[in-house]
Amino acid sequence: MGEGGLTSLTAVAAPPAPPSTVVRRRRRRRPVLPRLAHFASFGAPGVLVYLCFVMAPILISFGYSLTNYNPFHPPVKFVGFDNYRLLFTDSQFLTALQVTTILTLIVVIVPNVLGLGVALLLDRKGWLYNALRSVFFTPVILSSVVVSIVWSRLLDDRGPLNSLLRDLGVSHPPGWLSDPDVALYSVASIVCWQMLGFCVVVYLAGLQGVPPELLEAAEIDGAGPLRRFRAVTWPLLAPSLTINTVVLLISAFKTYDYVKVITNGGPGSGATATIAFDVLQTGFDSNHVGYASAMAVLMLVIVALVTTVVLNFLRRREVDL
């Protein structure tokens, strides 16, 4: 899956600011040169690779997006913001935007809800629950290519699921991956299946942080199980919700592997083509590098905006408790 990149976010979020006197004392003691040397030897190598392989390409991408660059059709012409303007009237891009939005909504909500349910179910000691935790977590460590292949076999028109349905008397089982109205939901379900274990583990860790005294006190005060969950457990799970939501959000936006392997964007005209898929298709298969870059830059802006807004909203909820 490769997208748990934000798990450590909260751990690092708020370093305690050192008292100013300490800072001043340290500053006076250390001359300028060793500081520079510190950066040159410790900081520079990492920063350099990051700048060369992440930051510079983003700037180049933005540069490309202002041109009609196509390696097979020189010369390159500066076109200003034409590519961006064109995007908003391009029905293929608008479809991709819609596909990405639906996919993201499903992938953020479903594993979160089901993950919480499964975590509550498994929040017990014993070998059975330990074994089941591993069962739910295993898909998280599988390559999305493997997951995609397994599921496309399972959901094939003549695959095991449909033959089971036929045996049960369904004469026309759905074309899970071949019907344009259904395929997107099938792909979304597959992503949910793989991400579920991640949410389960994060919620289980959160549940371990709920002090039993609080739950007992609430029980003595006469709160039933539902009330205890709503008033005690759920608020204390706020950090787990934040992590799960942000990780799911970012990985849903980037969805490419599943689409490429399972449906290759189809069926029909882009029923499952996400923006992430469209960018590479336009850039590498159709060679419209300028246009694809505009799409990529717009995608980056959307991801950054949505993530920041959601993160702020969820963080505020944590602070309010």
Assess 57 for contact with another protein (CB under 8 A). yes
Measured from the CB of residue 101, what is the shortest distance to another protein in angstroms? 15
Assess 7 for contact with another protein (CB under 8 A). yes
Of 49-57, 86-94, 173-181, 216-224, the window that binds another protein (rule: CB under 8 A) is 49-57
- For another protein, the binding residues in 16-45 under the rule CB under 8 A are 18, 23, 26-27, 34-35, 37-39, 41-43, 45
Assess 11 for contact with another protein (CB under 8 A). yes
Please pick, from the candidates 142, 165, 214, 231, the single residue that binds another protein as defined by CB under 8 A: 142
Percentages helix, strand, coil for the chain (3-state, rounded to 5) are: 75, 0, 25
- For another protein, the binding residues in 295-314 under the rule CB under 8 A are 296-297, 299-300, 303-304, 307
CB closer to another protein out of 6 and 214: 6
What is the Rg, in whole angstroms, of the alpha carbon atoms belonging to the chain? 25
Q: How far apart are CA 278 and CA 271, in angstroms?
A: 12
Provide the token pair at 76: 């390159």
- Inter-residue contact 242 to 318 (CB < 8 Å): yes
Of 72-80, 178-186, 213-221, 287-295, the window that binds another protein (rule: CB under 8 A) is 287-295
Assess 243 for contact with another protein (CB under 8 A). yes
Q: How far apart are CA 273 and CA 289, in angstroms?
A: 18
> Across the chain, how many H-helices and E-strands are there?
18, 0
CB closer to another protein out of 149 and 170: 149
Burial 35-72 (b: 16+ CB within 10 A, else e): eeeeeeeeeeeeeeeeeeeeeeeeeebeebbbbbbbee
Backbone angles phi, psi at 260, to 5 degrees: -60, -45
Please pick, from the candidates 111, 115, 139, 270, the single residue that binds another protein as defined by CB under 8 A: 139
Assess 176 for contact with another protein (CB under 8 A). no
- For another protein, the binding residues in 91-120 under the rule CB under 8 A are 118
Measured from the CB of residue 216, what is the shortest distance to another protein in angstroms? 17
